[in-house]
Structure 1
Amino acid sequence: ARDAACACASGVSQTARRDGKELSHRISVRFNPCCLISSLTSSLTRTHTLTLSHTHTLTLSHTRIHAGVLRSVHSATSDEEMVMWVKGLTWLVSDTLRSPTPLQIERWLRKQFYAVDRSREDRISCKDLKSMLCQVNYRVPNMRFLREKLPDGELRNGDVSYSHFAQLYRSLMFDAQKSVSHTLIERPEQKISLEDFQNFLIEHQKELWATDNNKVQEFMLHYLKDPLREIEQPYFHQDEFLTYLFSKENTIWDVQLDQVRPEDMNNPLSHYWISSSHNTYLTGDQFSSESSLEAYARCLRMGCRCIELDCWDGPDGMPVIYHGHTLTTKIKFNDVLSTIKEHAFVTSDYPIILSIEDHCSIVQQRNMATYFKKVFGEMLLTKAVDISADGLPSPNQLKRKILIKHKKLAEGSAYEEVSSSTPYSENDISNSIKNGILYLEDPINHEWYPHFFVLTSNKIYYSEETSSNQGNEDEEEHREPESLISLPKPVFTCVRCFVCSVLIWFTETTRSLKVTVCLCSPLRWKGDYGGKKQLWFPANYVEEISPTAAEPDRSQATENSPLGDLLRGSVDVSSCQIVVRPEGKGSRQFVFSLVPVASPRTGPVLDIAASSQEELKDWVMKIREVTMTSEAKLEEGKMMERRKKIALELSDLVIYCRPVPFDEDKIGTERACFRDMSSFPETKAEKYVNRIKGKKFLQYNRLQLSRIYPRGQRLDSSNYDPLPMWLCGSQLVALNFQTADKPMQMNQALFMLNGRSGYVLQPSIMRDDTFDPFDRHSLRGVEPITVCIEVLGARHLPKHGRGIVCPLIEIEVCGAEYDNAKQRTDSEADNGLNPTWPRKPFRFTVCNPSFAFLRFVVYEIDMFNDQNFLAQATFPISCLKTGYRSVPLKNSYSEDLELASLLVHMDIVRGRVSALGYHGREGSFEARYQSPLEDFRVSQETLLDHESRRLRRARVSADNRA
């Protein structure tokens, strides 16, 4: 592999075709320390893919679906050349990931320096240096500050060399945070010897392996990578030891848990949490985003073990996969199966469940069954593991197997009408009669802007302003950048150019709000603009708009609409007349109006524009049909659900995951069958994951599988809180993997366990019949803990906008309802490179530590006192180390941020703490009432003490008088 990497460095020729012409060019990988390979590598081992095809094509599939870039495709001239590239890149990835923190810092320093040193003279000016430090989140007060930090020789010519720049960086980092390390070493003014470091690991870090002197020496040599220190015993300089404290080698996460525990994989499937994805094929929202094969590859590489296939009748007798009756693009069923086969067991060997949402005809169902067998072969589970078993098989029994979750016929039936396990709902956009992009006129500037419209059996709903150019963006995404192709004309490229092409993607409206405001202006109004909800805006840029009949009370309307939180308004079409405007209106030619029948006073006329005459006719026809047959269409939809037929060939492939309607009366009885399972939208699941029915639902999940998925109104692909569902034993809590939000971050934290295999054994307490998920007193045999955390400092925090951040750290415990708590530090002014905080302990009492997460979130406080997300790190509490630990930070997509970390001191005390040491949880009953009770208790004790002293004085005075 190393030889292949060297060959890649020399470059190979590639060919591509454009406009029918074959073009040739060479690509190469330069072995330069300043080349940021980690931008590729941080995800390649987990979620990037290197794919080989029979056409000598190397496909580099990126994780950053959220950025719009799905893949880069390079073609090679032969199989040997293609394999060489794959081996070389794979070796570079693994080598970079294994590199110790000092080497990664060196790479980062060179990248920053050479990005400024465009003259290639290995020198930059002090002015450029000051600007560079601002770019890395450090405020330089003035040029005098730099002159004091730099040696005199650097100031005479006004330039700074790389070596002095690196020394300046180390000096800035050490001077700002040296107080942290000085408290840990007895002789802070000297070098830190092997013995000193070993004592630190044993006394402060409680590392058992550090009792072996040889292991400590081996660790130091690997970390430092300094040949000069291999001659004698290794040692740390003071700044190197401080850097170690912030490094990934000192992580708070117990790396032993990165390995799968085979002994924990012998329980029935119903005893595990299983990583599950909702509408896996989507890369964005639920109504207009792209469906992608890369989305399947990404989820599988992330350890997801339950993925969804939404199948609809397609051409040539084969289904297509997309979100039905929406603007999402379609992908071929057989391509999806090939992608699943290729990536199924790369990250984990444990079973995959394919959740089939079937809307296909009998003929295409037969073809689906044929392709399942043809593509998956021996991987496909076609018979029960143990016929006599009284429970589901274990993950070990199903290793490298693919299970089909689909409705199943009763024994002896060929084509039986089956009832749906999920009730018919008009609020699901897939059940809409018609939907698409139409235009509404802005009442202020009279411009027409696109909105997403959904027509149901009695109403037409429309969203906030949306984008109508998704097709153009998709086209741009796959376009080959010309800078990668050598043409006959001269082409000039930058030697130290690290970015070949940049495409900026916007998800907001194209109209941006840019205003200049005096900070002393006191008048601000709260309002909505684009994707910004309930923020403060200058009063002179705000207009109060009164609600109309077409825009009903939002809280009630969004709950019952297929657009959910994206809802702008709705119109009852049965009480409206449709008027086509042949002359158009304003700049739009194809316009129709919805006019209230009874009286214009009942609501305003809604003018709607289409993009073509055909589209206008189709919408008008559909709306008129709805006004005449609204009730009949609703009933027909329900009847179609009840009359759905299943092909025998497909039914035979369903062995264990048989969806059936949920029957609460069967729980705990002989009628309950472990092969049956039920699916719940989050709104229905909330009726069972509560204090009243939570214990009963947990009993159901001990035997059978349950799958929970987002409600249909979440068109923005947002996620619900998975914690209550997990706590009540639900195994398949399906989330939108493409969305960067807190629920997805919690999901990725949970499935860090057990080697990221996608299966996590639920705590044994959840299999205790007396356990109630919402009652802390039912925790028999579970020892509570008290977690004490001090935030000491941070390094390399990301920027937010152009300014230098003022960070604060929020520490949160998430878990059972009675354990939830949140505390935060003060903000640190204008420093995102190396901020520090005064030592202040934050204490959390956790009653159920086996189901609790510790979450660090870094926020920036802006000039309006609003907090903006910068970074986060989330871990299961039971898997954390104590002592002085580094917390590696991640972005909102749980991707590693280069060198970004917190330094915290962590202590865990097992058992109940005394009342004097108890700290109430913020937002809980104890937090609200503990302080007044303590004040009352102190006041009462003070009063009694005062009264006692007064009585003693009176007694003494009486004795003296006597």
Structure 2
Amino acid sequence: MDSPGSLFQDDPDIKVMTAGSTLRKVKSRLWKKQRHFRLLEDGLSIWYKSRWLGKGHSTFSVIEVEAVREGHQSEVLQSITDEFPADLCFTLVFHGRQGNLDLVAESPEEARAWIRGLRKLIHRAQTMDEKQRLDQWVRDWFHKADKNKDGKMNFKEVRKLLKMMNVEMNEERALHLFTMADRSQSGSLELEQFVLFYKMLTQRDEVWRVFQDYSGDGETLMLEELENFLSVEQQEGEGSARHARELMERQEPSGTAKKQGTMSLDGFQMYLCSPEGSIFKPDRLGLYQDMSQPLSHYFISSSHNTYLMEDQLRGQSSLEAYIQALKRGCRCVEVDCWDGSDGEPVVYHGHTLTSKILFKDIIATLKEYAFVTSDFPVILSLENHCGVEQQTVMAGHLSKILGDTLLRNILDGRTNPQFLPSPQELKGKVLLKAKKIGGAEGSPDGTLTDDNSDEEEMANGEALHAESLNQHEKSKLSRELSDLVVYCKSVHFRGFKSSPLHAKYNEMSSFAESKAKRLAKEAGADFVRHNVKQLSRIYPSGLRTDSSNYNPQELWNVGCQIVALNFQTAGLEMDLNDGLFAQNHRSGYVLKPNFLRDNHTTFNPEKPQEQPGYKPMRFSIQVISGQQLPKVNQKEASIVDPLVRVEVYGVPQDQAKEETSHINNNGFNPVWNQTLNFVIHTPDLALIRFVVEDYDKTSKNDFIGQYTLPFTCIQPGYRHIHLLSKDGTAIPPASLFVHITISKFT
């Protein structure tokens, strides 16, 4: 395979990058250090070092970079605008939670060369197929292990490399494969020979056995044999003949085999490792749901304390946190507003040491990034601690910066609406969620009585400073700000008995997690019916000062739409959120099952078997093998002892976990061949999480990787599960190979 660098070898921008440049790395207004950056020969690695640090250097892969931003587009670079003009500055944004890299070039031409060159290489890296990614991964390891940079490795170096790659193998077998790959009999392997050695090393016996089951001659799959495999094993039924032809055309690397209408073992393995061979149904990845139902009929990806990058006591407030949440598909962001000292409202976590950012800067960021990932509406959840004067300033910023993007009036042609409009009708709009003057909660003069004091404010741990609030004092709302609230009017929850009689479709309540969980358990069916028409927002307890999260599943079970999580905190809860919203084009909106949308529903998650049309499913997973699992401990001699756990999240009856035994000293190609069985009582609400851990008998197992998806999006048959890191980012080529059977439970 040509390296990405060789594809652009005559490109002037890549030439600048390969030659190298001295760029300033900027961490703050005061920390600006010169570093020498250059693109390595593989065309995918950026190497940099200080001239004064001797041998010390760092590298990162272009694959890790999500985007390049030009000019002063980060808070750090904005702080030095007086020192360095925009045409010298650029920012590298990495996938996951890795911090940005802010750089300043010595000339505008050099900055442009790096920006253009990086963008070309990022695009190339993003469009590589599975085989190219795997080849690149092998090449990266070769370059990493080739310490003296002579382009060759002897057997001792190869054995060391195998340990780095998480392989513990028999020395005799390793030497045998090394000798076979060393065709020149020089006692060392060059890059292409190492790739051959690696391919022999990774011969997948388990894939070969499946291939043999369907191949008549044991060498190839005829068209009918592939069609038979797709129909019997992959349960594709109709359309498998057409799909078989398409797969041969797309996945078969041999031109001869293609002409003969056959598929080789290589082509078969490439299909199984491709997105089509993945566990996630391809047709559920696109926008496949009806988007014309009322907003209350959807789960909405929602963030809490969106402005924070870390914890709630000392963490940095940052515009970058909004950008990351919005790019991750979040459709409800939170803004915590306080009076600023110079008349400009500021956003931070009140009564703590978190840093402050200007409200108007957040709105400008929202304007730029709100609809990059999804066209569907964004709800701006306002926690308002400002006086009337600065509330009016906020209203001015919202109107001026957002312009037509801000929804200010009920949609045309709706004289007496009874339901919220749909995501489709609200495309490209920002909706303000806040209190509103008038009605039962407030008097026409803008006064709000304290019985409607923000429940959230108290539950957010701010009860500690309740004495600073005069409980009998009346709070005032700015008329200008109030007028911008249309469909998301914050009201105090009056109870389930009252809501069907008095609640208006545009009124919504916020619940602390503990209250919401109690209501879900004690009055599940009532909560479900309430959420058919009303929006509910759930937020983490104020006691979670470390920005930890609660499990969102039990709130989704009762139809709560806006289940807000701390997006900045990795872990199980964000895995579930990412898993649920991975479907439907990652639009941030997922249509709730019909039993959570029906006005007359009797569904209660505590008693799923009482639901009309109750159809439990049997779910069986044969965990066959793992491929190239990443190391947990970076020490060279340390090799993982992996096990796989399958976890089911859903209604209480569906909560379950089963795990395989662990395999000693093999993260490279462990084979389990163990079957785990489950019964799923409410398939439409279930999420399945696959977790790989490094077994440790004396302490807690270390996390290796995970993958989470809705049960309804699972493809049966032989499938690969491409693992994700703790941050939810891909860690190619790490995967699991499984066989899945889904059938009716009788």
Per the TM superposition, whether the score is higher than 0.5 is: yes
Is residue 2:519 matched to residue 1:685? Answer: no
Matches within 5 A, 1:171-320: 171-174=200-203, 177=206, 180-187=209-216, 189-193=218-222, 196-207=225-236, 211-212=240-241, 216-224=244-252, 228-229=255-256, 232-233=259-260, 236-238=263-265, 241-242=268-269, 244-261=271-288, 264-320=290-346
Structure 1 counterpart of 2:604, from 753, 772, 778: 772
Aligned to 1:132: 161
Is residue 2:633 matched to residue 1:818? Answer: no
- Gap change, CA 1:390 and 1:285, over 3 Å in 2: same
- Gap change, CA 1:779 and 1:82, over 3 Å in 2: farther
Is residue 2:506 matched to residue 1:675? Answer: yes
Structure 1 counterpart of 2:487, from 656, 669, 675: 656
Matches within 5 A, 1:854-893: 854-864=688-698, 866-893=700-727
- Gap change, CA 1:638 and 1:49, over 3 Å in 2: farther
Is 2:456–2:512's contact at 8 Å kept on the other side of the alignment? no
Give the whole-Å Cα distance in 2 for the aligned partners of 1:221 and 1:119. Answer: 42
Aligned to 2:14: 9
Is residue 2:628 matched to residue 1:796? Answer: yes
Aligned to 1:62: 94
Is 1:807–1:831's contact at 8 Å kept on the other side of the alignment? yes
Q: How many residues align?
A: 699
Structure 2 counterpart of 1:908, from 735, 742, 745: 742
Aligned to 2:592: 762
- Gap change, CA 1:663 and 1:872, over 3 Å in 2: same
When structure 1 is superposed on structure 2, of 164-173 and 56-65 the one drifting more is: 56-65
Deviation at 1:881, TM superposition (A): 0.7
Is residue 2:473 matched to residue 1:637? Answer: no
- Gap change, CA 1:230 and 1:74, over 3 Å in 2: farther
Aligned residues: CA RMSD: 3.2
Is 2:292–2:424's contact at 8 Å kept on the other side of the alignment? yes
Q: Could you list the runs of 5+ residues in structure 1 that have no partner in the other structure? A: 434-633, 914-962
- Gap change, CA 1:395 and 1:425, over 3 Å in 2: closer
Give the whole-Å Cα distance in 2 for the aligned partners of 1:221 and 1:92. Answer: 27
Q: Secondary structure at the match of 2:654?
A: coil
Structure 2 counterpart of 1:743, from 573, 585, 595: 573
Q: Secondary structure at the match of 2:42?
A: coil
Aligned to 2:385: 359
- Gap change, CA 1:297 and 1:834, over 3 Å in 2: same
Give the whole-Å Cα distance in 2 for the aligned partners of 1:651 and 1:14. Answer: 52
Give the whole-Å Cα distance in 2 for the aligned partners of 1:644 and 1:744. Answer: 36
Give the whole-Å Cα distance in 2 for the aligned partners of 1:780 and 1:756. Answer: 30
Deviation at 1:830, TM superposition (A): 0.8
Aligned to 2:433: 405
- Gap change, CA 1:293 and 1:170, over 3 Å in 2: same
Q: Secondary structure at the match of 2:342?
A: helix
Aligned to 2:192: 163
Deviation at 1:146, TM superposition (A): 2.1
Q: Secondary structure at the match of 1:823?
A: strand
C-alpha distance after superposition, 1:910-941 (max 9, x if no partner): 3x32xxxxxxxxxxxxxxxxxxxxxxxxxxxx
Matches within 5 A, 1:216-615: 216-224=244-252, 228-229=255-256, 232-233=259-260, 236-238=263-265, 241-242=268-269, 244-261=271-288, 264-385=290-411, 386-410=414-438, 413-419=444-450, 420-423=452-455, 428-430=460-462, 432=464
Is 1:272–1:760's contact at 8 Å kept on the other side of the alignment? yes
Q: Could you list the runs of 5+ residues in structure 2 that have no partner in the other structure? A: 1-6, 47-58, 73-84
Q: Secondary structure at the match of 2:476?
A: coil
The structure having more radius of gyration, on CA atoms, is 1
Amino acid paired to 2:195: A
Aligned to 1:119: 148
Is 2:68–2:115's contact at 8 Å kept on the other side of the alignment? no
Deviation at 1:212, TM superposition (A): 4.6
Give the whole-Å Cα distance in 1 for the aligned partners of 2:734 and 2:671. Answer: 14
Aligned to 1:845: 679
Give the whole-Å Cα distance in 2 for the aligned partners of 1:665 and 1:907. Answer: 41
C-alpha distance after superposition, 1:640-673 (max 9, x if no partner): 7x52221111111111111111101554533111
Give the whole-Å Cα distance in 1 for the aligned partners of 2:495 and 2:61. Answer: 50
Q: Name the TM-score, length of structure 2 as normaliser.
A: 0.86
Amino acid paired to 2:130: T
Deviation at 1:88, TM superposition (A): 5.3
Q: Secondary structure at the match of 1:174?
A: coil
C-alpha distance after superposition, 1:882-919 (max 9, x if no partner): 11001111112211111111111011113x32xxxxxx
Structure 2 counterpart of 1:728, from 550, 553, 558: 558
Is 2:603–2:610's contact at 8 Å kept on the other side of the alignment? yes
Is 1:785–1:908's contact at 8 Å kept on the other side of the alignment? yes
Aligned to 2:4: none
Give the whole-Å Cα distance in 2 for the aligned partners of 1:874 and 1:644. Answer: 45
Is 2:165–2:628's contact at 8 Å kept on the other side of the alignment? yes
- Gap change, CA 1:210 and 1:149, over 3 Å in 2: farther
C-alpha distance after superposition, 1:778-804 (max 9, x if no partner): 321242211111011010111111311
Is 2:295–2:423's contact at 8 Å kept on the other side of the alignment? yes
- Gap change, CA 1:91 and 1:267, over 3 Å in 2: farther
| Greater relative CO (CA pairs within 8 A, separation 6+) | 1
Is 1:305–1:353's contact at 8 Å kept on the other side of the alignment? yes
Is 2:65–2:93's contact at 8 Å kept on the other side of the alignment? no
Structure 1 counterpart of 2:670, from 828, 835, 845: 835
Structure 2 counterpart of 1:109, from 138, 143, 147: 138
Q: Secondary structure at the match of 1:50?
A: strand
Is 2:337–2:384's contact at 8 Å kept on the other side of the alignment? yes
C-alpha distance after superposition, 1:852-892 (max 9, x if no partner): 11111111112526422111111101111111001111112
Give the whole-Å Cα distance in 2 for the aligned partners of 1:897 and 1:808. Answer: 17
Is 1:354–1:403's contact at 8 Å kept on the other side of the alignment? yes
Q: Secondary structure at the match of 1:669?
A: helix
Amino acid paired to 2:287: V
Is 2:8–2:14's contact at 8 Å kept on the other side of the alignment? no
C-alpha distance after superposition, 1:113-154 (max 9, x if no partner): 111224333211211111111111111333x33222222656
Q: Secondary structure at the match of 2:705?
A: strand
Is residue 2:114 matched to residue 1:72? Answer: no
- Gap change, CA 1:265 and 1:210, over 3 Å in 2: closer
Is 1:14–1:77's contact at 8 Å kept on the other side of the alignment? no
Give the whole-Å Cα distance in 2 for the aligned partners of 1:755 and 1:242. Answer: 27
Give the whole-Å Cα distance in 1 for the aligned partners of 2:478 and 2:137. Answer: 58
Is 1:100–1:223's contact at 8 Å kept on the other side of the alignment? no
Deviation at 1:406, TM superposition (A): 1.1
- Gap change, CA 1:303 and 1:51, over 3 Å in 2: farther
Is residue 2:733 matched to residue 1:896? Answer: no
- Gap change, CA 1:700 and 1:84, over 3 Å in 2: farther
Q: Name the TM-score, length of structure 1 as normaliser.
A: 0.68
- Gap change, CA 1:429 and 1:667, over 3 Å in 2: closer
Is residue 2:616 matched to residue 1:784? Answer: yes
Is 1:278–1:736's contact at 8 Å kept on the other side of the alignment? yes
Q: Secondary structure at the match of 1:317?
A: coil
- Gap change, CA 1:51 and 1:184, over 3 Å in 2: farther
Is 1:287–1:328's contact at 8 Å kept on the other side of the alignment? yes
Identity %: 34
Give the whole-Å Cα distance in 1 for the aligned partners of 2:286 and 2:71. Answer: 28
Amino acid paired to 1:172: L
